[in-house]
A and B are shown apart, each in its own frame.
Chain A
Amino acid sequence: MTATPAPGPTGVIHDIGYRHYDGPLLGRRQAFGALTGYSLRGVFGLGRPARAKIMPFMLAVIMLMPAALGIAIMALAKETFVGYTGYAVQMQVVLAIFVAAQSPYLVAPDLRFRVLPLYLSRPVTVRDYVGAKLAALITAMFLLLAIPLTVMYAGELLIDLPGAPRTSDYLASVTTALIHAVVLACIGLAIASFTPRRGLGVAAVIAFFLLTAATSTVVAAVLYELGSAGAGWALLINPFHMVDAVQVWLFGTPSSFADIPYPDGIGGPAAALGVIALIALSLAALTARYRKAASA
């Protein structure tokens, strides 16, 4: 290659007339808020194609059905039929499907297309990113569970049945809905974050919930048959029952599983510890996963 003298200066950045941004830069907190809002909208399919809206809204409607049924029976037959405290356990399949179908959406595409470094080139840190995704899913799960409860409570107040309204039940169930939301979101996101493939993520999350539910049912039924005290403990293998046991312990509500009682005495605090351990484990897994993903 012959050396030709470079004519004039090289490496000039030409101003080709793009408009500059002179406005304020909002910073980390706003970025966190924007990412949370965007993710929350995405969980319900808003801002995504119509096909993505079918599943979340269908499941949300299914979640509302027992509330509608409860209101109808209160209005027509003047008696309470659907309880507040057992709502989450009754609808656990729908909640599990929702968290399984939607949590991979939150994490898988960003991992798959390796856009995490783009987020991290902004003021957002890894912790902010994971926190925003978690906050979005927790909010979504809470809305999914709390809206039917609130609708039913509003219906109960409007119908004005004889006797006091079940306010304490309602408050207990909404508080527990928050615990349910945190537990489900943490588990779902932690499992989903381990695969960049959405389909496999959906299958893995639902497999976790189905496995724990089926294992707890079978083991509890067999132990109960034998008259063993372990039956109540076996129920707690299912995260939904674990949270329900915490509700029973905290608020003294009746158990949502009529056949086999939860372990009494130390059972309540143990269930609470189990819930905390489950959340901590999920958060640790998420942190470890994203520490690796961010450096890759």
Chain B
Amino acid sequence: MNSTIAGISYRAVIGRRRIWLLVLLPAALLGLAVLLRLVGSADERSAVVLMQTFAIGTMLPLVGLIVGTGVIGPEVDDGTIVHLLAKPISRPVIAQTKFLVAASLLAAFAAVPTFLASYLLVGTESGVATGFGLGALAGGIAYAAVFLLLGVLTKHAVAVGIVYALVWEGLVGSLVPGARQFSIQQWAKSIADQISTSAFLETDVALSFAVPALIVVTVGTVVWAGQRLRSFSLTGDE
């Protein structure tokens, strides 16, 4: 953890136009929650639907993508990453710092709004709010690590990340049940299901698989990103 790098990374994500997108997504979620309350369907069922399709299914991967690639992508794009890499700071530490920054932003812009939105709808009923809040937190941490690695690996990180989140987790996951085992979204849902006692929430992935998978993926990708930064070569833009 290096506070200077953390400061630079926070500024890179929050200080530019990126912040509008980051605010818009949670705002849409909270807006929908308010709307559901206003039309009088703030029950547990609609809360679970909103959380599953919107919070975990749409907002979490998108915020993860924007934050995870945002902490490193612009620096790689501009080539300013070489100034950072030229400093006597261990490359794995750079990767770990950027991961922590991304994870903390995901907690603020994805996990907290998820909790607030479901609390707005059902309060503390059957632990839906806590469940989805913690699920979003765990999923967000994993997304931060995976998309950070993508940002180090490729210049087309955002496009590749979208294909993973939408095509693999969305399309393939809805058609092939086996693919759901390898989906961060599903792991986040498993955690939500474990904490919540809601009958409307069903998951396909056992918690005994989801939790180790989340840990392995998070730790593995952060270590990989650090190793990858050690032999990083800046290629020219097309």
A and B together in one complex = yes
9-residue interface stretch from A14-22, A30-38, A209-217 = A209-217
Beta-carbon contact of B77 and A199 below 8 Å: yes
Query: Interface SS of chain B: helix, strand, loop or mixed?
Result: helix
Contact of A222 among B25, B41, B74, B171 (CB under 8 A): B41
Beta-carbon contact of B156 and A97 below 8 Å: no
The answer to the question of B32 belonging to the interface, with a C-beta cut-off of 8 Å to chain A, is yes
Beta-carbon contact of A51 and B58 below 8 Å: no
A52 to B160, CA, bound (A): 12
Beta-carbon contact of A204 and B54 below 8 Å: no
A202 to B77, CA, bound (A): 14
Beta-carbon contact of B54 and A218 below 8 Å: yes
Q: Which residues of A in the span 204-234 have a Cβ within 8 Å of any Cβ on B?
A: 204, 206-207, 210-211, 213-215, 217-219, 221-223, 225-226, 228
9-residue interface stretch from A72-80, A138-146, A169-177, A190-198 = A190-198
Query: Interface SS of chain A: helix, strand, loop or mixed?
Result: helix
What are some 7 contacts across the A-B interface (CB < 8 A)?
A: A93-B166, A197-B74, A199-B69, A202-B162, A222-B39, A222-B41, A225-B41
The answer to the question of A203 belonging to the interface, with a C-beta cut-off of 8 Å to chain B, is yes
The answer to the question of A166 belonging to the interface, with a C-beta cut-off of 8 Å to chain B, is no
The answer to the question of B84 belonging to the interface, with a C-beta cut-off of 8 Å to chain A, is no
- What's the nearest-Cβ distance from chain B to residue A106, in Å? 13
Which residues of chain A have C-beta atoms less than 8 A from B69's C-beta? 199, 203
Which residues of chain B have C-beta atoms less than 8 A from A207's C-beta? 21, 24-25, 62, 66
- What's the nearest-Cβ distance from chain A to residue B181, in Å? 21
7 A-B pairs besides A101-B156, A109-B237, A218-B32 with CB distance below 8 A are A199-B77, A200-B17, A200-B21, A200-B70, A202-B159, A203-B69, A214-B54
Which residues of chain A have C-beta atoms less than 8 A from B159's C-beta? 55, 97, 100-101, 202
Which residues of chain A have C-beta atoms less than 8 A from B46's C-beta? 222, 225
- What's the nearest-Cβ distance from chain A to residue B54, in Å? 5
